[in-house]
Amino acid sequence: AGEKSLMITFLWIAGCLLVLLGVVGTVLPALPGLPILFAGSLLIAWAGDFQQVGTISLVILGVLAVLGSAVDFVAGLLGAKVYGASHMALWGSLAGSIVGIFFGLPGLLLGPLLGAALGEWRARRCWLQAGKVGVATFVGLIIGTVAKVGTALAMLGVLVFALLL
């Protein structure tokens, strides 16, 4: 009985930590926040022997995680593609996102914009086009982040609702 109790405690702690990390990951571009939040929810469900958080809740959480991740991905690409971004701009945006992590909130916001603009400038040598792609990438990032945060809040609501009922 002691071993089982220890395992349940471990699952609860690990699940809660993953849920928190997932929420943080919704604003950090390098972390897949919604899948991590789902993994934490799955551990919490397992800790409760799937009695409180059951199949229906987990399916809803999984669908939300997939949809939210897809919207984030599409928003970022569409933001850049609307202005005809080159492949270099897309790679630049990714590199800017990664580098931006080390510069706090300003880096998280400006990193993808600057990376996309520099990548576009390198590909086409046109500052006007580079600026347009950078701004469009930034707008796509904001839309994607808002979608991820909204999805994370919905997932937290489903999880709390399942735990309280």
Q: Rounded to two decimals, what is the model's pTM?
A: 0.81
Distance of alpha carbon 28 from alpha carbon 128, whole angstroms: 28
Degrees, nearest 5: CA angle 133-131-113:
65
**What is the pLDDT, as a whole number, of residue 137?**
86
Q: Could you tell me the two tokens for 84?
A: 């005809």
Per DSSP, the chain holds a count of helices (H) and strands (E) of: 6, 0
> CA-to-CA distance for 153 and 59, rounded, in angstroms?
16
| Residue 120 neighbours by CB distance under 10 Å | 31
Rounded Cα gap, residues 77 and 152, in angstroms: 21
Q: Which of 14, 18, 57, 11 is nearest to 36 (CA)?
A: 18
* 18 burial type by CB count under 10 A (0-12 exposed, 13-18 middle, 19+ buried): buried
Closest listed residue to residue 116, CA positions, set 67, 159, 82: 82
pLDDT on residue 67: 96
Consecutive 10-residue averages of pLDDT for the chain (165 residues): 91 98 87 95 97 97 96 79 83 87 84 90 91 88 91 98 94
Taking only the tens place, the pLDDT of each residue in 50-88 is 999 999 999 999 999 999 999 987 887 777 777 788 889
